[in-house]
Structure 1
Amino acid sequence: SDPNVVYVGMGEHAIRGVMTSHGDGVYRSTDAGRTWMHLGLDRTRSISRIRVHPDDPDVVYVAAQGAPYGANEERGIYRSTDGGETWDLILHVDENSGASDLAMDMTNPRILYASFWDHRRLPWRVVSGGEGSGFWKSTDGGDSWQEINAGLPELMGKTAIDVSRANPDRLFAMVEADPGGGLFRSDDAGDSWTLVSESWTIRARAWYYIEVYADPVDEETVYVMNAPFMKSVDGGRTFSSVAVPHGDQHDLWINPLDNEVMVNANDGGANVSFNGGDTWSTQQNQPTAQFYRVNLDDRFPYHVYGGQQDNSSVAIASRGPGGIGWKDWYSVGGCESARPDFDDDDPRFVYAGCYMGIISEYDHVTNSTRDIAAYPVMPAALQAREMKYRYNWSAPILVSDFDSDVIYHASNYVVRSQDRGMTWEEISPDLTRDDDSKQGYGGGPITNEGAGGEIYGTIYGFDESPHDPNVLWTGSDDGLVHVTRDGGGTWTDVTGEWGEAIVNAVHVSPHDPATVYIAVTRYKFNDFTPLAYVTRNWGESWQAIADGIDDEAWVHVVREDPVQPGLLYAATETGVYVSFDSGEDWQSLQLNLPNTPINDLMVHERENDLVVATSGRSFWILDELQPLRQAAEVADGEHHLYAPGHVYRWAGSGGFGGGGGGQNPPPGAVIDFVLGAGFGADTAASPEVTVEILTAAGDLVRTMSTDPDDEVSPGASPLSVERGANRVVWNLRHESIPNIPGAYVFGSLQGRRVVPGDYQVRLTVDEWSMTQPFEVRMDPRLDVPLSAYIEQDRFVADVANELAAIHRAASVNNDVRGQIESAMERIGEHDDTESLVAEGEDLAGELETVADSLYQSRTVDGQTVINFPTRLKFQYVFLHGNADADQPGVSMGSRDVLSDLRARWTVHQATNQELLGPRLDAFNRMLGDAGFSVVIVPPRPPRPIS
């Protein structure tokens, strides 16, 4: 009805117990997704389907599946006739049964079909099935409904429904039931049903799938989404699998005008097909990974690790040449639920887990893995009480910071290996509540769920003290916290008063061995209160520290900054928070981070970065935490310059973005500063703001300004600043080389790279200034001495100075020649000036010959470079860029070229000086004697390159 109107229903409807986020209702866009408006229905939590009237975009129906973890009166079918301004609940079954699907007869949009699902998620079980499951039909646009369950099983679980556009009397319904479940078909618009396929392939793991789609053109073709993408061309009687880029299919859209065009959504992303599913587009252009946890090593550049939902473990560099692309990541053992750990300094061996206790060792050198489980069994579909070890879906793995041969793996017990997993020993009793009533089958009453996500009574949070290898802390998913101070010999229960809950993370303060932070969640008990606690006395008492965190932003992790005591970061269900006072108060640190759950975060101490693992938007990095660490130094309303962190002269092509995916860190030194409350108050006369880079000795290297001087900073753009926080990135280069006005440059005139060492930055605002030191470091991957950088610097400086002199000479030449030509036009109007005109023309011609030797004026772009012979300028620019390499050192060839170019420049320079000196003086005397104005040589000398 209007392709610019788009409705979005929030909240995942495939309610996984290990990573599912609820939503906040419905959003609408009237400009094809550019902007959005929230339309309410906040407490529906999970919306499974939206249908829009084909003739009126203001008439919209919403299928609200409801809260996964508790009773929810807001479940059912909603209707709006005013574009979402108001809503009516037009079909409600009960507080436990939500609308799992909704179909509309597009030949008669007053006819609607709804499927309902009686379900509940518990931390230890998925309940799927009950009296509320079934199908409903309306023939009056939702004003009234009747059940259409004739011929269907008495006890049903999850359900789905669709109506054929090719034949609106034909319906397809997926039904979870046993016996008698599968695909049902009705050929009389729902009056009766026939079971056409009870294949387990299309109904296995029903709570996670159960999706059916009728082909809009062919009434015999129907698709069912499960782990495979299933297609039937005989009305649902038989199915074949369609190859798709990834497993676990959850949604399908088929173009109603061309059934060869379809979009498939699965656990790996989205794919488009233009040939009915024969081939599909890539998923490698969608940074939508869901990561359970994050870990960081200390390589250069450091790598980021995590387990990606329904994919694999992942390791990826924090920066790369030209950006970070999908080819830059690789797997390091384990599987999707991995919590990889390793020796931070030498991560040759990576230990990564998988569900049901799988753990492997990955060897970076051999690119091989080996299973090292303490008790290698696969307890799929068993009751938890039957298992020797109860492992969480994402069980903790920890390599000791004190001895990288020591590995911990936590189930309901803590086991330890001291020989890279060849042998293990239990070093704890059961550290959970060990409630037998919560250790049965993972699913029911119809379908069991035994993939490991419902195993309960497990250790979920685990940490080794950075102060003492004998101190270990555990937190269980049923709410207990334990500590040992003798390497596992004895354990003490130090549980606080938060009740049965998930202790999602335990973090020992890097500054105080008695201080420990824990993040506690109760969302699986339908309680979304943010809970975080700290003990400062080894667990004898706990203090709640969640003030300032939004309601329902339950806390996944709290970590303390390794440099600044009391500076805390919290990963929550809705974003990142920061506290500057040990958790007394929190404020959002969202910035440009997408609105997505943050499952984990870590600080990279060496690089001053905060790295987060999101659920749906991959890894994100906040570069340079220095302003947060120095926040206490800023006086209210005053200007302030933060001390920058160190920066590397990176040996690589650099680039801020690219690669089709991740962005590199800012390309240079990050300079953060605050402009106080009074800045810009007088909008007509804001003071100039300058940022100057100086050597440790105080020599000026670079100037950046809101009002740049072209003589000081050729071609510089003005700084853009505002009252409050500002960030400038210095690219580790000297000032640019001034160009010949109007001349094309093939290459770059950017200033040369600086030598690694100590520098200063000075911020000046009007008469106020502040200076801070920082360091430019060598790329640690390069085995070169500092002297190589110094040698390169002097060579490139020589090239730059000579190039600047050439530009200045050509500029003056052009200026003088232009004056002579103007004089000739004036002289030509008078008699008896033939000798003067002849001398002027000769002088101008000879100047033009010199200028033509210095640069090619006919070159205007990269194509014309190959049309017209290059001149001296071109070769100097090329040599400058070639010698100013990211890897230091000066080749013999470069020295030879400079020697040859210098010889040529010396000749042209002498000729130019002769013409602009004695020859021009003589010509000016002739002009003066004849009563004409003389030609003036621009007085400014060439600016030396520092």
Structure 2
Amino acid sequence: MAAALPSQASKAVRENSQKAAQKAVQKTKVQVPRKGLPKIAEKKAVKKNAGPNAGQKKHKATRKEVVARNKKASLPKLDLGQLGLRNLGPSVMGGRVVDIEVEPGHPWIFYVATASGGVWKTKNNGTTFEPVFAFEKNGTVGDIAISPSDPQQVWVGTGEANNRNSTSWGNGVYFSKDGGRHWEWKGLPKSFHIGRIAVHPKDPKTVFVAAVGDLWAPNPERGVYRTRDGGKTWELVLKKDAKTGATEVRIDPQNPDIVYAALYERQRDRFDGNHPAKRWGEGSGLYRSDDGGDSWKRLTKGLPTVKMGRISLDIYQKDPKVVWALIETEWIGKAPKGATIPKPQTSNQPGYMGIQGEDGAGGALLTDVISGGPSEKAGLKAGDLVVEFGGKGTPTYQAMIGELRKHKAGQKVKVKVIRGKEAKVLTLTLGSRMGGASGRNRRLPYADRIGGQIANKIKGQGPLGFQTGGTFRSEDHGETWVRVNSLNPRPYYFSQIRVDPSDETHVYVCGIQFHESHDRGKTFKVGARGVHVDFHAMWVNPQDGRHLLLGCDGGVNMSNDRGKTWEVFENFDIGQCYHAVADTRRPYWVYAGFQDNGSWGGPSRTVYTDGITVTDWFKVGSGDGFVCRVDREDPNVVFVESQGGNMFWLNV
């Protein structure tokens, strides 16, 4: 074949290139049918490169299809167990303590039970605490018991026994044979709330449990349980009905065949307020067994005959024939026939200032002075910086409140303030928070705050006063009783009485305030002023009655002078956190609200090798802290809430 000429070859190449280009263009064109297609639809089809379903009505997915599609599109499951958790705090404030138990003979070793933070233990008199019940299936605790014959054996009953509508339920009882290092679940899963555990003084395998039962509904697993084999099996030895549980069980330390118990009929519903919908009933009462729990006798002589509510017990260790009881009844706060109506009295609460404030630069900054209140009458003004209260320095607002708690209504207090550049000293006469027959409830003239009964009113309540309940004492193993005082503060939430194991002269009652008597209950006065209120637990050293441990909503406090002065342990994290939020700065800060301990803010990390400390946290709100929010544009602006619908903001 003859070779092509150069000019012919170039022409052939050009023709082949043109044909290839035309084919490429044809492949990219959309073939749109021209006939029968509306012009608008034609344009849309060309514009959107529509397929064969162009022009058809779009299918609207059903809810079921959307849910199914979202499930398929969801992220893969994350193994959160691989995430490390850091404890940020705060420990600068405490939390609700429900029991304190001390190792016999070693008062520097004790356990602290919390409402929702498990159990903590100290081996050095509170210098340090360690969590010893942090990895069980339940962290809410009702009671702790240490075996008298073997202190390494410790029992924990889960489920707080205080009848708040925020109370958490438990899942039974746990046992440790090595001082809390390891725990074994011992059953009673439907007991829900444990009021008390009592261990036989000589036989550690014999244990009694007071099971309160479900707070919200009837259930059969409630009453007094007994085990004789260390928790392998349980007997329900004292039972009333599915509505009545047990709050107390106590063993005579010298004769363990004698056992005391208190039954309690109560129930909450979703519509009640401070008090349970049912606070007392026919099922409530005091019982005694003389054969180690095999049989029981109801104790009635000298006790109220009306319906009773919650009952607390304590045995005088030096002379166990003497038993003390704190009893609630349906007549609480009333003036029975033959009683005299008391005059309005000031409550046992601290004096009233009539101010609101926050931390200022070196003092307590008053942000509001209530019109007509004690502070306004004294000449205090919004914007004043309080630097001294009653001669004590007040570097923070909380420090001023702490000093206020030490003073009662009617007292005159010197208050030093900085106003502008001038220092002034003003005399403040504290007002009163009215209680008793103040007009809040004239049908209950002897009522104390939130459902309790005021102290020292036996004569005023007349011959039928015993029907209203109060403080009772027996000298014959509970066979007969004598009412020694009218006192019973807010029974459903506190109801705890303690007698000095070595000197019955000293009797203590826990309530919103701490009540102490030094004449066998004839008269009570308010003690522990300046300590956080709401007291739930107490221990008195049997070898030295001056040594006291006191548990409240603010943590654990210790006194070595029979309550004249107190030390608070601010070194373990037991606050009940309702809500937490992070701000937008980096690294972020955290703000949280706590039950009865206000709202606090603190950093998520620190550059110091010691880590986050108590001094890194600062208070941004008081009362029952709840929801916190932070301004997205300015992280220094924080909004906080507290009980009663209160809400405010501040610049931190």
| TM-score (normalizing by structure 1) | 0.37
From 341, 356, 363, give the equivalent of 2:644. 356
- 1:387-466 to structure 2, matched below 5 A, reads none
1:60–1:255 distance in 2 versus 1, CA, 3 Å? farther
- 1:127-138 to structure 2, matched below 5 A, reads 127-138=278-289
Equivalent pair of 1:61/1:80 in contact (CA under 8 Å): yes
Whether 1:176 and 2:328 are equivalent positions in the alignment is yes
Q: Report the Cα distance in structure 2 between the residues aligned to 1:270 and 1:110, rounded to whole angstroms.
A: 34
Deviations 1:584-611 (A, max 9, x none): xxxxxxxxxxxxxxxxxxxxxxxxxxxx
State the 1:131 CA deviation: 0.9
1:102 aligns with 249
- 1:493-892 to structure 2, matched below 5 A, reads none
Deviations 1:91-141 (A, max 9, x none): 011111111112221121111111121111112211211111111111111
State the 1:80 CA deviation: 1.0
Equivalent pair of 2:621/2:640 in contact (CA under 8 Å): yes
Equivalent pair of 2:489/2:510 in contact (CA under 8 Å): no
Q: Report the Cα distance in structure 2 between the residues aligned to 1:106 and 1:218, rounded to whole angstroms.
A: 16
Deviations 1:340-394 (A, max 9, x none): 1131341333222222211122232xxxxxxxxxxxxxxxxxxxxxxxxxxxxxx
State the 1:261 CA deviation: 3.2
Q: Report the Cα distance in structure 2 between the residues aligned to 1:138 and 1:198, rounded to whole angstroms.
A: 27
Whether 1:165 and 2:312 are equivalent positions in the alignment is no
Counterpart amino acid of residue 88 in structure 1: E
Q: Report the Cα distance in structure 1 between the residues aligned to 2:617 and 2:267, rounded to whole angstroms.
A: 37
1:151 aligns with 302
Equivalent pair of 2:535/2:551 in contact (CA under 8 Å): yes
Equivalent pair of 2:638/2:650 in contact (CA under 8 Å): yes
Task: Say how many residue pairs are matched.
Answer: 360
Whether 1:266 and 2:552 are equivalent positions in the alignment is yes
2:582 aligns with 296
Equivalent pair of 1:116/1:135 in contact (CA under 8 Å): yes
User: Percent identity at matched positions?
Assistant: 41
1:256–1:104 distance in 2 versus 1, CA, 3 Å? farther
SS of residue paired to 2:260: strand
1:315 aligns with 601
Equivalent pair of 2:207/2:227 in contact (CA under 8 Å): yes
State the 1:328 CA deviation: 1.8
Q: Report the Cα distance in structure 2 between the residues aligned to 1:109 and 1:262, rounded to whole angstroms.
A: 26
- 1:210-229 to structure 2, matched below 5 A, reads 210-229=495-514
State the 1:334 CA deviation: 5.3
Q: Report the Cα distance in structure 1 between the residues aligned to 2:548 and 2:209, rounded to whole angstroms.
A: 23
State the 1:144 CA deviation: 0.7
1:5 aligns with 153
Equivalent pair of 2:153/2:176 in contact (CA under 8 Å): yes
- 1:471-482 to structure 2, matched below 5 A, reads none
Equivalent pair of 1:49/1:63 in contact (CA under 8 Å): yes
1:72 aligns with 219
Deviations 1:594-632 (A, max 9, x none): xxxxxxxxxxxxxxxxxxxxxxxxxxxxxxxxxxxxxxx
Counterpart amino acid of residue 309 in structure 2: G
Counterpart amino acid of residue 67 in structure 1: D
- 1:248-267 to structure 2, matched below 5 A, reads 248-267=534-553
1:452 aligns with none
1:316–1:359 distance in 2 versus 1, CA, 3 Å? same
1:194 aligns with 482
1:149–1:347 distance in 2 versus 1, CA, 3 Å? farther
SS of residue paired to 1:102: strand
Identify unmatched segments of 5+ residues in structure 1.
365-946
Counterpart amino acid of residue 470 in structure 2: G
1:230 aligns with 515
1:216–1:10 distance in 2 versus 1, CA, 3 Å? same
Counterpart amino acid of residue 605 in structure 2: R
Q: Report the Cα distance in structure 2 between the residues aligned to 1:167 and 1:294, rounded to whole angstroms.
A: 50
1:287 aligns with 573
1:790 aligns with none
Q: Report the Cα distance in structure 2 between the residues aligned to 1:336 and 1:305, rounded to whole angstroms.
A: 14
Deviations 1:219-276 (A, max 9, x none): 2221111112221121112112331732211111223333333332211222334443
Q: Report the Cα distance in structure 2 between the residues aligned to 1:253 and 1:74, rounded to whole angstroms.
A: 29
Counterpart amino acid of residue 299 in structure 1: R
Counterpart amino acid of residue 7 in structure 1: W
Equivalent pair of 1:334/1:358 in contact (CA under 8 Å): no
Deviations 1:554-577 (A, max 9, x none): xxxxxxxxxxxxxxxxxxxxxxxx
Q: Report the Cα distance in structure 2 between the residues aligned to 1:7 and 1:260, rounded to whole angstroms.
A: 27
Q: Report the Cα distance in structure 2 between the residues aligned to 1:118 and 1:280, rounded to whole angstroms.
A: 36
Q: Report the Cα distance in structure 2 between the residues aligned to 1:329 and 1:129, rounded to whole angstroms.
A: 43
Q: Report the Cα distance in structure 2 between the residues aligned to 1:146 and 1:2, rounded to whole angstroms.
A: 30
Q: Report the Cα distance in structure 1 between the residues aligned to 2:559 and 2:227, rounded to whole angstroms.
A: 33
Q: Report the Cα distance in structure 2 between the residues aligned to 1:37 and 1:171, rounded to whole angstroms.
A: 33
Higher RCO (Cα < 8 Å, 6 or more apart): 2
State the 1:315 CA deviation: 1.1
1:275–1:85 distance in 2 versus 1, CA, 3 Å? farther
1:131–1:51 distance in 2 versus 1, CA, 3 Å? same
Whether 1:343 and 2:631 are equivalent positions in the alignment is yes
From 241, 247, 270, give the equivalent of 1:123. 270
Counterpart amino acid of residue 132 in structure 1: G
Equivalent pair of 1:245/1:283 in contact (CA under 8 Å): no
Q: Report the Cα distance in structure 2 between the residues aligned to 1:36 and 1:261, rounded to whole angstroms.
A: 30
1:279–1:334 distance in 2 versus 1, CA, 3 Å? closer
Equivalent pair of 1:334/1:360 in contact (CA under 8 Å): no
Counterpart amino acid of residue 344 in structure 1: R
Q: CA RMSD in A?
A: 1.7
1:87–1:262 distance in 2 versus 1, CA, 3 Å? farther
1:86 aligns with 233
Q: Report the Cα distance in structure 2 between the residues aligned to 1:332 and 1:281, rounded to whole angstroms.
A: 24
Whether 1:111 and 2:225 are equivalent positions in the alignment is no
State the 1:282 CA deviation: 2.8
Q: Report the Cα distance in structure 1 between the residues aligned to 2:226 and 2:515, rounded to whole angstroms.
A: 32
Counterpart amino acid of residue 596 in structure 2: D
| TM-score (normalizing by structure 2) | 0.53
SS of residue paired to 1:207: coil
Counterpart amino acid of residue 10 in structure 1: T
SS of residue paired to 1:137: strand
Q: Report the Cα distance in structure 1 between the residues aligned to 2:301 and 2:636, rounded to whole angstroms.
A: 62
1:41 aligns with 188
From 185, 209, 216, give the equivalent of 2:473. 185
Equivalent pair of 2:597/2:622 in contact (CA under 8 Å): no
Q: Report the Cα distance in structure 2 between the residues aligned to 1:344 and 1:136, rounded to whole angstroms.
A: 60
Equivalent pair of 1:307/1:314 in contact (CA under 8 Å): yes
Counterpart amino acid of residue 362 in structure 1: L
Identify unmatched segments of 5+ residues in structure 2.
1-148, 335-467
